[in-house]
Structure 1
Amino acid sequence: MRLDITGLSVEVAGKRLVHDITLRAGSGRLVGLVGPNGSGKSTLLRCVYRALRPAAGTVRLDGADLHAMDARAGARMLAALPQEASTEFDFTVAEVVAMGRLPHQRGAGRASAEDSARCARALAR
């Protein structure tokens, strides 16, 4: 999956945190964001996984504008488990992996046999 970020800027409470970022990560590539504390790395990533909406610019996955998609379509393409995420619930690794199948299920349905098999394959990898 190719990621293209073009002209991305982020403002929070009237303060510009990220200004005019352009980045391309080709399919199958590993990209590292490096910079000092407070330079905008996490803010940029929050725009990529839709926790923040950019003030300007676009985030595209395989050419599709991620912020123009409805939540379910976006969740089918991208998920994030931030390092700093905290939870008050105790989830097993298998339960966290299974959460990735939620956007592919209908309504509030239960996991299908196919969902369980996909999760098992992911864990085996």
Structure 2
Amino acid sequence: MRLDIEGVTVEAAGARLVDDIRLAVDSGAFVGLVGPNGSGKSTLLRCVYRALRPAAGVVRLDGDDVHAMAPRDTARVLAALPQESSAEFDFTVAEVVAMGRLPHPGRT
């Protein structure tokens, strides 16, 4: 699956957190985002997995704008496991794995 980040800018509370980021990643490639704390790495990734909507620019998966895709369609091709997360619910590992199957009805 090809990932294209085209001119992504993120703003919050009047501050520009990420400015005009462009990145193209071919299918099967392995990429690392490297930078100091506060440089926008996590903010950019949040735009990729739809937790944030950029103020400008677009994130595309195989040519499709992820923010224009239906949530179920995005869930079929994209997943994220952030380093920091909090859960309000007490799920077992099996229940968390089973949730990953929700966008794939009829498949076991």
Report the TM-score, using the length of structure 1 for normalisation: 0.79
Give the match's secondary structure for 2:103. Answer: helix
- Which structure 2 residues correspond to residues 33-72 of structure 1 after superposition, within 5 A? 33-72=33-72
Q: Deviations over 1:15-63 (max 9, x none)?
A: 1100000011111111100000000000000000000000011100011
Give the match's secondary structure for 1:39. Answer: coil
Q: Deviations over 1:55-106 (max 9, x none)?
A: 011100011111111222212221111110121433333322221111223x
- Which structure 2 residues correspond to residues 1-125 of structure 1 after superposition, within 5 A? 1-105=1-105, 114-115=107-108
Partner of 1:121: none
RMSD value over aligned CA atoms? 1.4
Point out where structure 2 has 5 or more consecutive residues left out of the alignment: none
Greater relative contact order, per chain length (Cα 8 Å cut-off, separation 6+):
2
Largest Rg, 1 or 2: 1
Point out where structure 1 has 5 or more consecutive residues left out of the alignment: 106-111, 116-125
